[in-house]
Amino acid sequence: MLNRSINGAEGLKAWLDHHSVSRIRTMATDIHGQPIGKYLHREKFESALPKAHAFSDLALGADLGGTPHLTFWHPFRTSMLGDIALKPDLSTLTLDAHQQGLAHVIGQFVQMDGEPISLCPRTQLIQLCNQLNARNLDLLTSMELEFFLFEKSYDSIRASDYADLMPRTLTSLQSIYTLRDAHRATPFMNAVTQTLESMNIAWEAWSDENGTGQIELNLPPAPPVQTADTVMRVKQVIFETAAGQGLAASFMPQIKAGHASGMHIHHSLLGSSGDREASMTPLLMDSNQRYQLSRLANHWIGGLFQHLPASVSMLCPSINSYRRLRDFSAAPLRQSWGIDHKSAALRVLTPSPGAARIEHRLGSSDLNPYLALSLIIASGLSGLDANTELPPPMSSTGWGSEPSATDLPNDMVVAAERLSNDARLRHYLGDEEVTYWLKSRRHEWLSYQEQSSNDDPSRPTLWEFERGFAKL
Amino acid sequence: MSDLLIQLPPKPDLTVLKLAAFIQRRYRLDPSAVSEAIEPLVVIKMNDGHLLSLSLREQTLIIEPAGRHSPDLHVQLSPFSDAPPQFLWPWRTGLSSRGQRLKRCFTSQLIPWPTAARTFLDQATSFNAQSFQLTCTDPRDGQTLIWGYGPSALSIEGEKDRLALFFNGYTQLFREMVTGQLNCQGSMENIANLADEGLKQWIAWPC
């Protein structure tokens, strides 16, 4: 997806001229995983570089309901509510698939003088990738996008207070991989995949998933920042395609009873030296070692394992994402890992050195991809630095057992408590940024407590639908 | 005296976090009142009838769902009300020496605002006396407290009862500002930090 043809102002001008670009849409991602941006006239875009434009610092300091985060602070903000800027990464420039003259670019939040903002999720991920690269290590990552598709439009569903939710499927059964159900989604997914191809976004496969009206789209492995960028773009394409066809697609994890949507994250650890991309060596597998895992992998996965309880807060960011964490719902409930074990939180696959990978299964579909990948790198680095040893794998199923000390947090408060108490993870993620995150969860939880009445705990509230159905 | 660490039960609701914050505030003012009352265990019946056990392990307050214990006391605590919690004792408990220890800890005190404000501000972690100066006034009687000597000014005005409720941890700053009970003037940074400290007093949120 990287646009390597743009080099400097002249290269940019040539690219924009060549493609007759007159407008550019910018996109950055806030801490909730919400795409934020503006449509710019080309002249404005070029003249403002290396920044693209300014916007209020509330772009990075408000909740999903638009309420500013005024009850806590981060030093990125000016003391009287000022502006910050979006700095575009020109390697992400791509053309819109449908609108002539429109290009898209992804960037990160910076101060008006161009200084990075550590709270910006994309900046956090870039900084953690730099730490990884400084050790001659790299990751290849991919995410599985699960979402629900509904027959009615966003407007119509909202007008019904989210009661009129007819899944686009053949029956109400929770079957999986059925081609009959997939057929109902084919016109929609054809439009999605064709749009992705027009935008030079690679995809691997899509299928009918377990939930009624649920679809899974798989993306090929890529470096972490590129993966997160792609996830944000693909979600936007899915939203726009649904809106254009009078349908509604949602990444809200638990919409109706039954299976919920997760976002499983695959990653493999690579060694790099010299020309990074020319000489990346898979490092996870060693056939001579226990579990066929290298010493490095042992420590890396040991870190992921150790920090699992603290990871829940960022991987399950919303009130709604905790509805997914139930027995036999395909979501992991225990601090666990296993070899090709789908009820474990960390599923390790070692079919061959090149295909060896870790599937992190904890995340819900509404996670912020930049923060989720940052969390994985931070946990892995912690494991490497502390030579953390991986305990034995989980040998039983991870569901249906009595409560135990290995249970992962299953609500927002206890998840926040675990992250708050994990000093090592806080160190790698940035203490100030973790504190802001925890306070933002406090804000979210209090807002839910105050504004949500929940007579039926199995069903999301209107408050949850308004924040999660279409915005993420 | 450092704060208690608090270990919350699964799926705590707002009343649990408010109760935990209440105990934290009591501990700051009178640690022995808390440790003597909770030793070895206190069972509290909450508004909705569920039972919680409170115990102390070193400096950690452990709040857990209680099994089939008889409650030592009941608490009436409304989630978003600014009323201090009301604690009620079964008459047998109230008369015993243990009952006296419980009463010493579980009594909703409304400390006069200047004293409460000083304790509140001295224990703040979001700001310090070198960085800003808070001027707090009750315009009715003119009583004023000036705390800190930093270059950045923040003022807060309100009637003594509202100031007392805020600095005792029973109300939230923004709610008081929006409803016109307290008037706060200063930079957004200082107001946000004061609101943050207020929320730390109001509920025991883990950070």
A292 & A319 share domain: yes
- Band of residue B105 on the pLDDT scale cut at 50, 70, 90: very high
pLDDT over 70 percentage in chain B: 99
Domain enclosing residue A89, as ranges:
8-116
Rg (CA), chain A: 22
B21 & B70 share domain: yes
Query: Is the confidence at residue A9, as pLDDT, over 90?
Result: no
A87 & A226 share domain: no
- Distance between CA atoms of residues A321 and A445, nearest Å: 12
Q: How many domains would you assign to chain A? A: 2
What mean pLDDT do residues A301-306 have?
98
Contact criterion met (CB < 8 Å) for B8 and A410: no
Contact criterion met (CB < 8 Å) for B207 and A439: yes
Q: Which one of B8, B79, B188 has the shortest CB-CB distance to A81?
A: B188
- Band of residue B3 on the pLDDT scale cut at 50, 70, 90: confident
Contact criterion met (CB < 8 Å) for B207 and A413: no
**What number of C-beta contacts closer than 8 Å exist between A and B?**
76
B128 & B197 share domain: yes
Domain boundary among A83, A116, A149: A116
Q: Which 3-state string (H, E, C) describes chain A?
A: CCCCCCCHHHHHHHHHHHCCCCEEEEEEECCCCCEECCEEEHHHHHHHCCCCEEEEHHHHCECCCCCECCCCCCCCCCCCCCEEEEEEEEEEEEECCCCCCEEEEEEEEECCCCCECCCCHHHHHHHHHHHHHHCCEEEEEEEEEEEEEECCCHHHHHHCCCCCCCECCCCCCCCCCCHHHHHHHHHHHHHHHHHHHHCCCCCCEEEECCCCCEEEEECCCECHHHHHHHHHHHHHHHHHHHHHCCCEEECCCCCCCCCCCECCEEEEEEECCCCHHHCCEECCECCCCHHHECHHHHHHHHHHHHCHHHHHHHHCCCCHHHHHCCCCCCCCCECCEEECCCCCCEEEECCCCCCCEEEECCCECCCCHHHHHHHHHHHHHHHHHCCCCCCCCCCCCCCCCCCCCCECCCCHHHHHHHHHHCHHHHHHHCHHHHHHHHHHHHHHHHHHHHHCCCCCCCCCCHHHHHHHCCCC
- Band of residue A157 on the pLDDT scale cut at 50, 70, 90: very high
Domain enclosing residue B125, as ranges:
113-202
Contact criterion met (CB < 8 Å) for B174 and A71: yes
- Band of residue A16 on the pLDDT scale cut at 50, 70, 90: very high
- Distance between CA atoms of residues A74 and A58, nearest Å: 12
B174 touches chain A (CB under 8 A): yes
Q: Which one of A79, A81, A442 has the shortest CB-CB distance to B205?
A: A442
- Distance between CA atoms of residues B24 and B30, nearest Å: 10
Domain boundary among B83, B105, B127: B105
pTM for the predicted model, two decimal places? 0.96
Least Cα separation, residue A469 to chain B (angstroms): 24
Q: In a mutagenesis test of the A interface, which of B188, B190, B191 is the best target, namely the one with the most A β-carbons within 10 Å? A: B188
pLDDT 10s digits, A348-357: 999 999 999 9
Angle between helical axes of B160-167 and B113-122 (0-180°, round to 10)? 30
Residue B46 lies in a domain: yes
Contact criterion met (CB < 8 Å) for A79 and B190: yes
Q: Tell me, what CATH number does B167's domain have?
A: 3.30.1050.10
Q: How many domains would you assign to chain B? A: 2
B17 & B99 share domain: yes
What mean pLDDT do residues A254-275 have?
90
Q: Tell me, what CATH number does A104's domain have?
A: 3.10.20.70
Across chain B, what does the average pLDDT equal?
92
B96 & B117 share domain: no
A438 touches chain B (CB under 8 A): yes
B62 touches chain A (CB under 8 A): no
B16 & B97 share domain: yes
A417 touches chain B (CB under 8 A): yes
- Distance between CA atoms of residues A205 and A219, nearest Å: 7
pLDDT 10s digits, A162-182: 999 999 988 888 888 899 989
- Distance between CA atoms of residues A418 and A410, nearest Å: 11
Contact criterion met (CB < 8 Å) for A72 and B13: no
A352 touches chain B (CB under 8 A): no
B20 & B99 share domain: yes
Phi, psi of A359 (to 5 degrees): -105, 110
Residue A1 lies in a domain: no
A242 & A344 share domain: yes
Question: Given this model, what pLDDT does residue B94 score?
Answer: 67
A452 touches chain B (CB under 8 A): no
B32 & B100 share domain: yes
B11 & B48 share domain: yes
Residue A121 lies in a domain: no
Contact criterion met (CB < 8 Å) for B8 and A414: yes
- Band of residue A278 on the pLDDT scale cut at 50, 70, 90: low
Residue B88 lies in a domain: yes
Contact criterion met (CB < 8 Å) for B187 and A449: no
Least Cα separation, residue B152 to chain A (angstroms): 11
B147 & B83 share domain: no
B70 & B141 share domain: no
- Distance between CA atoms of residues A324 and A365, nearest Å: 10
Chain B residue with CA closest to A319: the answer is B11
Structure tokens at A189: 């997914």
A312 touches chain B (CB under 8 A): no
- For A35-44, A266-275, B3-12, B78-87, which range has the lowest pLDDT when averaged over its residues? A266-275
Rg (CA), chain B: 18
Structure tokens at B200: 């730390």
Residue A469 lies in a domain: no
A411 touches chain B (CB under 8 A): yes
ipTM of the complex: 0.94
Residue A155 lies in a domain: yes
Least Cα separation, residue B7 to chain A (angstroms): 8
A82 & A199 share domain: no
Query: Is the confidence at residue B80, as pLDDT, over 60?
Result: yes
pLDDT 10s digits, A39-48: 999 999 999 9
Contact criterion met (CB < 8 Å) for B13 and A79: no
A94 & A223 share domain: no
Question: Given this model, what pLDDT does residue A52 score?
Answer: 86
Q: Edge-to-edge strands of the sheet including B152-158?
A: B143-147, B132-138, B152-158, B182-186
A82 & A184 share domain: no
Residue B207 lies in a domain: no
